[in-house]
Amino acid sequence: MCIKGKAQLSYSQLDSTVSSLTQTILNNIHADRRKSAVDSLTLLLRTNLTNVLSFKRDLHSAQGISVLYPADSSFRLITGQYFVSDDEYRYYGGIQDSSGKYTELKDNSYEIRSDGDQYGELTAANWYGGLYYNLFSCTYQKQKYYLLLGFNGYSFYNKQKIIDVLHFDEHGQATFGKNVFLPDTGEVDHGDLRILYTYSADASVKLNYDPGLGFIVLDHLMAMKEIYPGQGPTAVPDGSLEGYKYNAGLWQHINVLDQVPLENIEVMPILDKRKGKDIQGKDIKKKLK
C-alpha cells in the first residue's frame, strides 16, 4: 500500500491503514515492499497526527509498533522496527505532545555507531533507533525526564537492549541521553548518557523494571569468544542478575543482585503477552543455525 499526498484520513481510516501497513512491514517477504510500507506509514503519521483531537485517538489496531504514554499523558512515543536484511534492522516513529505537535524520529543508529557517538546526546533528527517497550517518569534537580527501555536488532549475530533518557527543553524540543547513571562506586559519572547492552542473538536477555523491587533488573552478561564464525567477541548471560536502583532522581548501578531470589523477579511482558511471539509480535519459528 502506498500513501500519496497529504490527505487527512478519518479516524477509522487511519486506524485500519496503520494496521495494514504494519502487517506489511512485519510480514512481507520483499525488502522493497517493507521499505515502501515504512515510508508510507511515516508519511501517514506525520500528516495525520497534527492536532489535539488526533492525540486523543488511540491506534487500536496496529500490531508491531509500540505506543507509550508517561503517567501524566503529556506526550506519546511511537516506535517501530523493520527488517532490512539479515544484518540490518531499522527503526521509525515519532513523538506527539498533548497539543498535537508531532516530531518525527529519524534512525541514524548505524551511522552513530560508526562515528563512535552512541553514548552521547542525540536529537530526534539524529536518533539511536530502538523499539521501546517501557517508559516512566523521573525527576532530577526539579527537572523531569523519562527513562526508556528498548531493543535494537543491531546485527545478525548480536542484539542490543537499551536504557535511554528522553527529556525536553523549554521549547519542547526532544533530546535523548542524560547524565543520570551512577556506577557501582556511587560517584557521578560524566561519561555515558545511555546504556547499551550488546549480546549474542542466540541468547535471551531480560531487561525491565520490577515495580515490586523498585529496580531495573537485567541479566548480568559475561564476555565470550565468538560463537559463530565471523561473529567476533560477544556476551551471554552468566546466570546472575544486575540492576539499576532509582534514588533521588539518579539510577545507581548494582553490579550483582545476590540478595534477590530469582522467584521474586517479575519479568514484565514486552509489547505482546501472547506466547510464541517475538518483540515485533511475529511467530517465533526460526533460530540461528
DSSP string, 248-273: TTEEEEES--TTS-GGG------S--
pLDDT at 108 exceeding the cut of 90: yes
Residue 208 to residue 277: CA distance in whole angstroms: 18
Residue 57 domain-assigned (yes or no)? no
Residue 232 domain-assigned (yes or no)? yes
**Greatest mean pLDDT among 51-65, 81-95, 204-218:** 81-95
Residue-level pLDDT at 284: 40
User: How many domains, in total, are found in the chain?
Assistant: 1
Residue 63 confidence class, pLDDT cut points 50, 70, 90: confident
DSSP 10: P
Residue 22 domain-assigned (yes or no)? no
Residue 34 domain-assigned (yes or no)? no
Mean pLDDT of 43-58: 92
Spell out a b/e string for 37-51, using b for 16 or more CB atoms within 10 Å of the CB, else e: bbebbbbbbeebbbe
**Coil, helix or strand at residue 113:** helix
Residue-level pLDDT at 187: 64
**233 vs 214, more confident:** 233
pLDDT at 246 exceeding the cut of 60: yes
* Model confidence pLDDT, tens digit, residues 157-194: 999 999 999 999 999 999 999 999 988 765 665 568 99
Residue 111 domain-assigned (yes or no)? yes
Mean pLDDT of 213-219: 88
Residue-level pLDDT at 270: 42
Mean pLDDT of 124-145: 95
Residue 173 domain-assigned (yes or no)? yes
pLDDT at 150 exceeding the cut of 60: yes
Least confident range from 55-64, 149-158, 195-204, 268-277: namely 268-277
Residue 192 to residue 213: CA distance in whole angstroms: 25
**280 vs 228, more confident:** 228
Residue 17 domain-assigned (yes or no)? no
Domain with 127, as residue range(s), is 64-264
Residue-level pLDDT at 185: 65
**154 vs 190, more confident:** 154
Residue 251 confidence class, pLDDT cut points 50, 70, 90: very high
Residue 92 to residue 112: CA distance in whole angstroms: 16
Residue-level pLDDT at 257: 66
Residue 123 domain-assigned (yes or no)? yes
Residue 48 to residue 54: CA distance in whole angstroms: 7
Place of cell 549474542: 200
